[in-house]
């Protein structure tokens, strides 16, 4: 007798993935990964302040762009654009639906 394979329960697979993701993020937070990133940004800012003060002492021309560190990366692609579009529309529908629901409740009790 052959046993039938059990059907995969996608709900529990999704829960397992979410749990593993949570564990990774928790470990990253507890290990100080995010604190070290913030510390590095602070260090870069302190270096910019020192450079600014030195330039003032030397009467060099001051330009804000020389002291501001920008690490703007553009991660947009079709997938993220689609995700943002869907999220905005879900937000509109959800907030509009909730507002309409509460207005209905308000009209029933007033």
Q: For 4-58, how does the pLDDT look when each residue is reduced to its tens digit (9 = 90+)?
A: 566 778 899 999 999 999 888 888 777 777 677 777 766 667 888 888 888 889 9
| pTM of the predicted structure, to 2 decimals | 0.34
pLDDT in tens, 78-96: 888 888 898 888 888 877 8
User: In the prediction, which pLDDT does 14 show?
Assistant: 92
- DSSP sequence for 19-66: HHHHHHHHHHHHTTHHHHHHHHHHHHHHHHHHHHHHHHHTTPPP-GGG
In whole angstroms, how far apart are CA 100 and each of 7, 43, 90, 92, 108? 41, 49, 15, 12, 12
List the structure tokens of 28. Answer: 């990253």
Per-residue pLDDT tens over the stretch 57-78: 998 888 877 777 766 666 678 8
Q: Where are the domains of the chain?
A: 9-72, 74-110
Which one, of 48, 50, 53, lies nearest residue 67 by Cα? 48
């Amino acid at each position: 007798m052959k046993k039938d394979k059990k059907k995969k329960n996608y709900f529990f697979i999704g829960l397992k993935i979410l749990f593993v993701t949570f564990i990774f993020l928790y470990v990253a937070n507890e290990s100080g990964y995010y604190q070290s990133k913030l510390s590095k940004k602070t260090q870069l800012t302190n270096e910019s302040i020192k450079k600014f003060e030195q330039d003032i002492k030397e009467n060099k021309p001051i330009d804000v762009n020389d002291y501001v560190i920008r690490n703007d990366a553009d991660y947009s692609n079709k997938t993220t654009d689609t995700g943002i579009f869907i999220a905005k529309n879900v937000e509109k529908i959800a907030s509009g639906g909730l507002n309409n629901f509460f207005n209905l409740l308000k009209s029933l009790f007033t």
